[in-house]
Structure 1
């Protein structure tokens, strides 16, 4: 048999490590959190920390804490610090990991999921620990009574107090839960998005080398983001571990397992899914920005060598 008749295996190109990828990740995450991201985060966190509240009641509580600005508690500086670093880490690590999985012969779904898991893991331990903790503290801590002549405690003063009392562990409380959440978050989002992309290709008759339109990319990301909310119990556990709500019955030195047991005993299985509705909205919003817009802009900037 002639060697020319043998079908050639597709060449998997390595996506270049490009500085524009890092800047793009930071820019997309800053845009995501400053628009709908933080309001959805505040609603979701409020419901997870106060598990008797409905979504409407949580919205009213947030509004009572500062009107429209109440929905942006924790945005400055913590969400901005987190967004400007975690987006860059996610796109940088996930793109490299996705390429390595494809090189090993994994499918687009498995490669996308593997890239997301590695990107999420890197996010949690490199950039997100103290930022996520401080955002939750800001959203859940009791507001000081307005006393004439007494200054309100600033976000940085709260940070200093926690660090003084509990050290580095205090400001990274719940980081293991954050890691589990981020691994399952981005593993699901990238994986389900790639799976949806393959379904769209089959439906539209596009070959693997043909690029999806921007609308098709966004549609795949909406599916991936919505389905990623299956891990809401991990998010509720993370919020409870970092929360500053007053509950005398809450055990001290909570671990992931003991927190899950505490929530289940107090609120049942429903308690572990509090805030899932705004979480779905947040998952869709984040995935559209980081997967769809990430792919689109990487293509525009020639930072995505192989494309999807």
Structure 2
């Protein structure tokens, strides 16, 4: 009886293997890619959207049509590019690289920890947004807002460099980073939403076939949807602009913080005041997200495939 038992083959549980999670390749070329895409975005449609959005957030009684007329009156087409050189270029050439570097690293760590691609994308976007705010976006965003709003103040002919120097002399680094806490909150919710919603939309397009490669149109639509829906946090953007605005208003409190700024906006403009400028911001967000998420993924995939194709050709 014991011998019979010894000869019976023991059933073994088949090993279930999961495909190894691949870390998105990241190098100095990828960081440079992020900077290049962001600079292209801001130099084309990005800055006009930014200028109109900032004008409406700072001048909450103006409609889109009025904002466009006033912006054009400040200098024609060039009025829509106020703050582009050097501040928007400095910001764009650094924050794009910071975003791709940080978000890729956190995305990978989250997937290794067992999170889904959607949650990993959200965590990566949040971390990338915070990193942007506290590295270069604080002072660049402040100076861009100064350029859009200072035309109503005395001394409008003073150069942008002189204004930055005066602020630094008067208030130090803290002054140049006025409103950075609002920028950080905006950016972490911005990119957390953009990446997260984009990944969720991609999952919906894939359906049950989770490994299916999306078409270019599906990826483009995912990016656009993520960009548009990420604008739910417009109140943070209006608060940020008000904190950094150079528009002279007699009853505006001094030394505004997040809470006092929100209270002031609500008292002056009610609940809808927090959503001034949301329409041009949707346009900006869609365009930016398409450039960074769809464009970034497409270009990175192209350059990552080239070495593989070269290797196949070499061995053919």
- Equivalence for 2:229: 227
Q: CA deviation at 1:13?
A: 1.2
Bigger RCO (CA 8 Å, 6+ sep): 1
* Matches of 1:295 and 1:286, distance apart in 2: 13
Structure 2 regions of 5+ residues with no counterpart?
Answer: 1-10, 308-316
Are 2:153 and 2:247, in contact at CA under 8 Å, matched by a contact in 1? no
- Equivalence for 1:239: 241
Aligned runs of 1:265-284 on 2, under 5 Å?
Answer: 265-284=267-286
Rg larger in structure? 2
Aligned runs of 1:162-177 on 2, under 5 Å?
Answer: 162-177=167-182
Q: Deviations over 1:229-277 (max 9, x none)?
A: 0000000000000000011111111111110111001100000000000
Tell me if 1:97 matches 2:102.
no
DSSP 3-state at the match of 2:86: helix
Instruction: Provide TM-score, normalisation by structure 2.
Output: 0.90
Indicate how the Cα distance of structure 1 residues 283 and 182 shifts in structure 2: closer, same or farther if over 3 A, else same: same
Which residue, out of 94, 101, 104, partners 1:85? 94
Are 1:108 and 1:194, in contact at CA under 8 Å, matched by a contact in 2? yes
Tell me if 1:254 matches 2:264.
no
* Matches of 1:208 and 1:157, distance apart in 2: 55
Q: CA deviation at 1:16?
A: 2.6
Which residue, out of 200, 209, 212, partners 2:211? 209
Structure 1 regions of 5+ residues with no counterpart?
Answer: none
- Equivalence for 1:57: 66
Are 2:153 and 2:246, in contact at CA under 8 Å, matched by a contact in 1? no
Q: CA deviation at 1:145?
A: 7.9
- Runs of 4+ in structure 1 off by over 6 angstroms are none
Which residue, out of 2, 9, 26, partners 2:12? 2
Per mean C-alpha deviation after superposition, the further-off stretch among 157-166 and 121-130 is: 157-166
Q: How many residues align?
A: 297
CA RMSD of aligned residues (A): 1.8
Instruction: Provide TM-score, normalisation by structure 1.
Output: 0.93
